[in-house]
Structure 1
Amino acid sequence: MSMTETWSDDFAQSMFNLKDKVAVITGGNGTLGAAYARAFALHGAKVVVTARNMQTLLETVESVKEVGGECIAIQSDVTNSQSIAALVTAVDQQFGRIDILVNNAGMAFRAPAEQMPADKFAQIMNVNVTGTLIPCQAFGQYFMQKGHGKIINTSSVRGFCGHPDGYTAYAASKAAVDSLTKQLSTEWSIKGVKENFAININAIAPTLIKSPLTQEICEDPVRIAPFLARLPMGRVAETKDMVGLVLFLSAPASDFINGQVVYVDGGCTAG
């Protein structure tokens, strides 16, 4: 069997290798953030978790240390450019490199569309959209200088299709994250060809994920029914369903995947 000139057995054997990579996870104190941190550590990466609440971040750090991983917590605010610039500097000083950014920080507020408070709408857009843009900018500039980097944003199926449970602000914010991901990918790919750097920026888009934050919905037969009706696989997502995609988009195996919104939704958007 003939291979192309770019084929490498070494690459094939190392395409999922994350050993000694440095991954930064915003919202590292939540259910998903903690799971990502632990998974990265189990695959040999060094992990930095960041959020505004240091106490809950330290719980994630302890969880990572339980599996022998290296993890530190740094307090920051994704909506504050100075705070995120300081985060980049602190991580680089600590580890001498940054390879991966997972933009996991976010929030939701549900209300009927006709009653959605303008201030709440603005808050959701600030945290979910501006709070994605600012880390992308700061880490993106770092990756441009270093020559490479991976960014994984967090979207949702709500950015693609509506839902009858008061998601006006959340859906709008995630649609913006989708477009932001594609725009940054396009600009930075073209710029990278000219200036010799490569930044892969993609978004993951889950359906409803079972967690303490969604327990109220998941345990209410009336509220969960519309979700299940649109899930061909007959269940909502679990934390474990998300981890594999994040690791894949962080690894060399995904080097030619860029500007994509990848749905982890049990077939919700398939039909």
Structure 2
Amino acid sequence: MSMTDSWSDDFALNMFNLKGKVAVITGGNGTLGAAYARAFALHGANVIVTARNMKTLSETVDAVKEVGGNCMAIQSDVTDKESVLALVDKVDKEFGAIDILVNNAGMAFRAPAEEMPADKFEQVMSVNVTGTLIPCQVFGRYFMAKGKGKIVNTSSVRGFCGHPDGYSAYAASKAAVDNLTKQLATEWSIKGVKDGFTINVNAIAPTLIKSPLTKEICDDPRRIAPFLARLPMGRVAETTDMVGLVLFLSSPASDFINGQIIYVDGGCTAG
């Protein structure tokens, strides 16, 4: 069997290896953030979780330490550039490197489109879009100087298709995250070829995920019905459905994947 000159058995054996990597997770106090943190730690990465509320971050840190992982909590506001700059500086001084950024911070506010308050619309756009842009900018500059880095943004199927449950602000914000992801990947790929760095920017796009925040929907037969009607696999997502893709997009196995919005949606967007 012939192999190309670029083939490496060592790469094949280590393409999913995250041991010793340093991963920063925004929104690290939520259900998904905590799951990502624990999964990264189980795969040998050093984990930094951030949010505006330090008290809730402590629960994530405890969950990671339960499995022997190394986890640090740092208070930070993703919509405040100075706050994110301080975050990068502190992590770099503590660990000497940063390899991965997972933009998991976000919010939703549901209201009928014709009644959506402008201030709530702007708040959702600020947290979900500006709160993705600023970390991408700050960490992106760090990765340019370092030579490489991985960024995983959080989108949603709502960025691709609408839904009859008051998602005008959320859907608009996630559509913006989709195109921001593609734009950054394109710009930084071209710039990276010239300047000698590689930054992968991709996004994970889930459907409805079962969590304490979605309990009111998942437990209401009337509200869950429209979701299930568009899920060929017949169920909403579990937290465990999300973790594998985030780890993959953070690992060497995804080195040639860039600017992609990858749907983890039980077939929702397939037809």
- For the superposition of Structure 1 and Structure 2, which TM-score range results when normalised by the shorter chain? over 0.9
Q: CA deviation at 1:198?
A: 0.2
Counterpart-to-counterpart distance in 2, 1:58 and 1:192: 37
Post-superposition CA distance 1:101-141 (Å, at most 9, x none): 00000000000000000000000000000000000000000
Gap runs ≥5 in structure 1: none
Aligned residues: 271
* 1:91 corresponds to 2:91: yes
Counterpart-to-counterpart distance in 2, 1:192 and 1:119: 38
Please name the residue that 2:25 is paired with.
Answer: 25
**Mapping of residues 1-271 of structure 1, within 5 Å:** 1-271=1-271
Partner SS for 1:50 = strand
Counterpart-to-counterpart distance in 1, 2:261 and 2:87: 26
Q: CA deviation at 1:142?
A: 0.1
Q: CA deviation at 1:73?
A: 0.2
Counterpart-to-counterpart distance in 1, 2:125 and 2:77: 15
Partner SS for 2:262 = strand
Post-superposition CA distance 1:51-102 (Å, at most 9, x none): 0000110110010000000000000000000000000000000000000000
Counterpart-to-counterpart distance in 1, 2:213 and 2:146: 37
The one-letter amino acid paired with 1:137 is: Q
Query: What is the identity percentage for the equivalent residue pairs of Structure 1 and Structure 2?
Result: 83
Q: CA deviation at 1:255?
A: 0.1
Counterpart-to-counterpart distance in 1, 2:2 and 2:201: 32
User: Runs (4+) of structure 1 moved beyond 4 Å?
Assistant: none
Counterpart-to-counterpart distance in 1, 2:204 and 2:245: 8
Post-superposition CA distance 1:197-244 (Å, at most 9, x none): 000000000000000000000000000000000000000000000000
Counterpart-to-counterpart distance in 1, 2:250 and 2:149: 9
The one-letter amino acid paired with 1:95 is: F
Q: CA deviation at 1:257?
A: 0.1
Partner SS for 1:17 = coil
Counterpart-to-counterpart distance in 1, 2:241 and 2:106: 19
Q: CA deviation at 1:149?
A: 0.2
Post-superposition CA distance 1:134-163 (Å, at most 9, x none): 000000000000000000000000000000
Q: CA deviation at 1:3?
A: 0.5
- TM-score norm. by structure 1 comes to 1.00
